[in-house]
């Protein structure tokens, strides 16, 4: 029985292979016909197809088609045995032997012996030779149509689709070139931004410009929409420019008020801090305050120096506190002066006559240092504001110019596309019959 099953299984496998090849060849024929028709249609009406991709689909699709058809064929062992009986004239010996549930009776044993003798004479390949499907005889027809369409038939434009596609490709190429220009300009801005680390808030705008350039490069965007995005960025830059101008005007007003208030006659020689503030040199004022702070922290600031510093800050605060533009700065100076005076008194009370212990004195000393640091930071912030404002204004000006150039280039692209066209119908003379 095992010998019969092994030989019938071989018949089954061979029949499956023959069927697969048959289905595959049929699929290749119909796939080639479809490709030939696509080539012809592309020549006549321009389908804008990727012929290499279409050819790959036409030759690749028959494989899954053949596998699917093979599943529906369902060639079982019994069907393979029946096919062998029919093809070799075994008169149902193999199929009857396969159908036996048991071999008990003498008749069943005789049937099995007869089937074993017959199966030894069975030659599978000779009994089931591969057959070429009839569609294969006409393979030359779609192949010839492909060659004629690609080599002999000139491109036509029955519905005008080819002209539309050509114009579309020209637009894409033009927009891609414009996007590359934008990317180059944006990279120049980014390189300059690296040299101006204090202007980091403009990085978001540059990122938006990069995003617009990428969208233009990846696909053909709506030019009106792109121009609107660039215009919005321009409005944001103008707003930022105005904010910077207002801040710069406020700083100039503070400098003028300082010069006015500190330029009055004052008793004694002016300190370096007072001179710096009078000149609007906040950087030098910050350095002077930081220098006194370090001396206080190291215990190198004498009582007389600390007293003079506290009095000078108090004096400056009184000169400035009535001016609204200097109110905040005057308030910080006054708080610093009061903290220095309290710390000075705490140092003079060596015997603890005022009832303060060492921890409270330490707290007053730390508070004085904290107030001096806040005042120094405020001077430093005002100084950096001047530097940032100038650098940012230059960057803003350059970015505004770059945005204007981008918008001009996009607008010029539209003008070029419209050159030579009728104002009423939008067509060129040769397209509208010269009217």
For 61-88, the pLDDT digits (tens) are 888 988 888 888 788 877 877 877 777 7
Which residues are CB-contacts of 357 (< 8 A; sequence separation ≥ 6)? none
Task: Specify if 422 maps to a domain.
Answer: no
CA distance 240 to 244: 6
Predicted pLDDT of residue 286: 83
CA angle centred on 31, ends 29 and 32, rounded to 5°: 65
Q: Which of 141, 215, 126 is nearest to 178 (CA)?
A: 215
Measure the CA–CA gap between 432 and 423, rounded to whole angstroms. 12
Handedness of CA 240, 242, 246, 252 (dihedral sign): positive
Residue 175 in 3-state DSSP? helix
The answer on 358 and 280 residing in a single domain is: yes
Domain that holds residue 35: 2-152
Q: Give Rg (Cα) of the chain.
A: 47
Residues 188 and 124 in one domain: no
Same domain for 312 and 365, yes or no, is: yes
Claim: this prediction has a pTM higher than 0.75: no
Among 127, 152, 177, identify where a domain stops: 152
Contacts of 192 (CB under 8 A, 6+ apart): 395, 398
Examine residue 160 and state whether it is found in any structural domain, yes or no.
no
User: Could you tell me if 68 and 148 lie in one domain?
Assistant: yes
- Name the one residue in this structure whose structure tokens are 């030989």: 7
In a domain, 433, yes or no: no
Can you state the percent helix, strand and coil of the chain, rounding each to 5? Answer: 80, 0, 20
Q: Residue 384: its pLDDT value, please?
A: 64
In a domain, 418, yes or no: no
Domain presence at residue 128 = yes
- The residue ranges of the chain whose pLDDT is under 50 are 265, 351, 355, 417-435
Q: For residues 373 and 280, is the Cβ–Cβ distance under 8 A?
A: no
**Are 195 and 48 found together in one domain?**
no
Nearest to 360 by CA among 374, 347, 341: 347
Q: Are residues 136 and 184 in the same domain?
A: no
């Amino acid at each position: 029985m095992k010998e019969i099953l092994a030989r019938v299984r071989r018949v089954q496998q061979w029949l499956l292979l023959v069927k697969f090849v048959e289905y595959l060849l049929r699929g290749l024929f119909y796939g080639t016909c479809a490709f030939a028709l696509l080539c012809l249609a592309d020549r006549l009406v321009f389908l804008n197809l990727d012929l290499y991709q279409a050819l790959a689909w036409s030759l690749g699709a028959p494989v899954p088609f053949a596998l699917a058809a093979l599943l529906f064929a369902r060639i079982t062992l019994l069907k393979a045995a029946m096919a062998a009986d029919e093809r070799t004239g075994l008169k149902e010996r193999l199929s009857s032997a396969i159908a036996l549930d048991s071999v008990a009776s003498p008749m069943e044993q005789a049937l099995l012996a007869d089937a074993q003798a017959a199966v030894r004479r069975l030659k599978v390949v000779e009994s089931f030779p591969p057959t070429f499907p009839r569609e294969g005889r006409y393979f030359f027809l779609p192949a010839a149509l492909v060659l004629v369409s690609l080599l002999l038939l000139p491109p036509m434009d029955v519905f005008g689709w080819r002209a539309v596609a050509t114009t579309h490709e020209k637009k894409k190429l033009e927009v891609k070139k414009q996007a590359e220009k934008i990317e180059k300009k944006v990279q120049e801005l980014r390189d300059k931004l690296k040299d101006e680390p204090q202007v980091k808030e403009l990085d978001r705008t540059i990122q938006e410009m990069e995003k617009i350039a990428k969208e233009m490069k990846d696909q053909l965007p709506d030019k009106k929409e792109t121009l609107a995005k660039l215009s919005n960025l321009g409005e944001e830059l103008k707003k930022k420019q105005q904010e910077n101008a207002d801040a710069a005007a406020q700083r100039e007003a503070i400098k003028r008020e300082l010069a006015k208030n500190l330029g009055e006659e004052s008793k004694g020689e002016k300190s370096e801090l007072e001179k710096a503030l009078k000149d609007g040199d906040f950087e030098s004022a910050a350095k002077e305050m930081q220098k006194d702070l370090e001396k206080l922290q190291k215990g190198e600031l004498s009582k007389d120096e600390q007293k003079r510093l506290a009095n000078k800050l108090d004096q400056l605060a009184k000169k400035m506190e009535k001016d609204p533009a200097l109110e905040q700065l005057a308030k910080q100076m006054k708080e610093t002066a009061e903290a220095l005076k309290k710390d000075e008194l705490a140092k003079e009370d060596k015997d603890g006559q005022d009832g303060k212990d060492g921890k409270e004195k330490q707290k007053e000393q730390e508070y004085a240092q904290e107030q001096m640091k806040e005042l120094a930071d405020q001077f430093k912030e005002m100084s950096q504001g001047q530097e940032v404002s100038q650098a940012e204004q230059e960057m803003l000006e350059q970015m505004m110019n770059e945005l204007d150039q981008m918008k001009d280039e996009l607008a010029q692209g539209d003008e070029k596309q419209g050159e030579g066209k009728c104002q009423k119908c939008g067509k060129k003379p040769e397209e509208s019959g010269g009217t």
